[in-house]
Structure 1
Amino acid sequence: MNPNAPQPLSLLALLRSFLGYRALIVQITKREVVGRYRGSLIGIGWSFLNPLLMLAVFTFVFSVVFQAKWGVALEGEEEGKGVFAVVLFVGLIVHALFAEILTRSPALILGNVNYVKKVIFPLEILPITAVLSALFHAAISMVVWLAAHCLLIGLPGWQIVFLPLVLLPLLVLSLGVAYILASLGVFLRDIGQTMGIVATVLLFLSPVFFPIERLPEQYQPLFLANPLTFIIQQAREVLIWRGVPDFMGLLVYTGIAMVVLLVGFAWFQKTRKGFADVL
């Protein structure tokens, strides 16, 4: 693999790389997940404990301290803290998935300098492993959500089977963003510092803590421009409100996400030959 040779830019090349290095992708993803908790007493148990603590803290602050309500009832029962908790947690899971990719992507190349300089390595798989690692933690959080829903409300509806379809466009978009940030993080080190701020802004500019209908109409377009808003709404539709997703909306979102992925992958492939010089 000659780093100075022209790199393929098409999504087909990305798919071939994914399939050809799938065993390596699994191994690196596993290393990332396990390595995050290496040396801690609880170990990978933190992946369960973190979302559980996050759910408890946010539920207490917003439903007890601020007396926030969604203004809905499930299964004919008056809304209580249980309903608020499960609705809130869906938004937090979607945001955490995207935020983890945002904050980790700028350091993907910087944190793996040996892969750039000393060995022949398919650098294009690193953003894929970051997305899969974030997806693993989101899956753990979903297990916690499911347990909370069963305990506080009851079994969710069969519409939960649509959740992978709802999250897929966001994963495609996230991968495209990861490629752009992984490349920019090499040349502009400040990118890594700003992504934490961007993730926080996205949290409060999405309907995580309140329904978007409560906003004044002049502010709603700002929230709708947030790429998380539509996915959060659709995730709640299938998980909480027991409805079917907006298939046309998901199709449009997927089309935009594919464009972002194509641009991000092409940018990464075009700039990767300069990584070794900068590092």
Structure 2
Amino acid sequence: MIQRLRFAWAYRDFVMSSILNEQRIRFAGSKLGGVWMLLHPLLEVSMYALILSSLMASRLKGLSGPFSYAIYLTAGSMAWSLFSEIINRCLSVFTANAHLLKKISFPAMCLPLIISGSALVSNLLLLAAVTAIFGLVGHLPSLQMLFVPLLIVATLTLALGIGLILGTLNVFMRDIGQIMPVVLQFAFWFTPIVYPIDVIPQPYRWIYQFNPMFQIVSAYQDVLVFHRMPALSGVLVVLLVGIVLITLAVLLYSRAKPEIVDML
């Protein structure tokens, strides 16, 4: 593992240039350019808020005002967008880069770093935009914002661990790449993003403890919406699970690398 990280560090210039180049290509030829990176998630949040605001706003304990539901929805969506983008891109991380993996000197560790770096840039720009918008509507940031870096790291780690395992398996079972978007859509609704956890009957709430993104999304909402300290024990458990999954992903790829190259 340490050796792989050293190889990746040696290719740091390649990783950074790939992240920047990816951002340029993503919006090449677009009049608004990188603004679309912010508009897409904000428009999606606006759509949900427009439809569900009247139903859900009254159920938000400790939050009031005309923009209360939109603020709540935006906070949870930020965590989910980072998580889902990394997983979706990791699904094809090996199949889409077969030409690079067949080069013996190229460390495969660079590929997930490029994916996570690109997703992180988008998410940080979105965070800056959302913080500014919150401020304009009177919902000013608090000192609890200092926990956001920890939440981002936990989200990245979990998403990379899951994504790399699925990406490796997808080389051999391409159905995984087809079914995972459906699974992620189900997981989205199984996470209290669009609705508060209070709408779930008390006897069934224990089920949510098996969803690691419940801990992350709840922590984002605590910090960005309710201005209170997040449940760090849950976040640290998710971080530990992510580290274990990344270690398993590296071991799985190492064992399967010869077969992966042949399959590609």
Kept in 1, the 8 Å contact 2:89–2:115? The answer is yes
- Paired amino acid for 2:6: R
2: distance between equivalents of 1:209 and 1:188?
32
1:180 Cα offset (Å): 0.9
2: distance between equivalents of 1:255 and 1:219?
26
TM-score (norm 1): 0.87
1:144 Cα offset (Å): 2.5
TM-score (norm 2): 0.92
| 1:16-59 per-position Cα deviation (integer Å, ceiling 9, x unaligned) | 23322222211222222222222333222211221221222121
Report 1:109-258 matches (<5 A): 109-117=94-102, 120-258=105-243
2: distance between equivalents of 1:146 and 1:70?
23
2: distance between equivalents of 1:16 and 1:244?
36
Seen in structure 2, the aligned counterparts of structure 1 residues 269 and 91 have a Cα distance that, compared at 3 Å, is same
| 1:222-278 per-position Cα deviation (integer Å, ceiling 9, x unaligned) | 222112110111111122211222233333222222111111111122212222211
Q: What are the ranges of 5 or more consecutive residues in structure 2 without an aligned counterpart?
A: none
2: distance between equivalents of 1:244 and 1:20?
38
1:200 Cα offset (Å): 0.5
Kept in 2, the 8 Å contact 1:83–1:153? The answer is no
CA RMSD of aligned residues (A): 1.9
How many residues end up aligned between the 2 structures? 264
2: distance between equivalents of 1:198 and 1:134?
20
Kept in 1, the 8 Å contact 2:56–2:195? The answer is no
Answer yes or no: is 1:28 the counterpart of 2:18.
Answer: yes
Answer yes or no: is 1:13 the counterpart of 2:3.
Answer: yes
Q: Percent identity?
A: 29
2: distance between equivalents of 1:70 and 1:156?
22
**What's the secondary structure of 1:107's corresponding residue?**
coil
Q: Which runs of 4+ in 1 moved over 4 A?
A: none
Report 1:79-118 matches (<5 A): 79-117=64-102
2: distance between equivalents of 1:30 and 1:108?
18
**What's the secondary structure of 1:221's corresponding residue?**
helix
Answer yes or no: is 1:72 the counterpart of 2:61.
Answer: yes
Kept in 1, the 8 Å contact 2:60–2:69? The answer is no
Kept in 2, the 8 Å contact 1:82–1:153? The answer is no
Find the counterpart in structure 1 of residue 53 from structure 2: 63
Kept in 2, the 8 Å contact 1:179–1:267? The answer is no
- Paired amino acid for 1:107: S
Kept in 1, the 8 Å contact 2:53–2:69? The answer is yes
Kept in 1, the 8 Å contact 2:100–2:106? The answer is yes
- Paired amino acid for 1:53: L
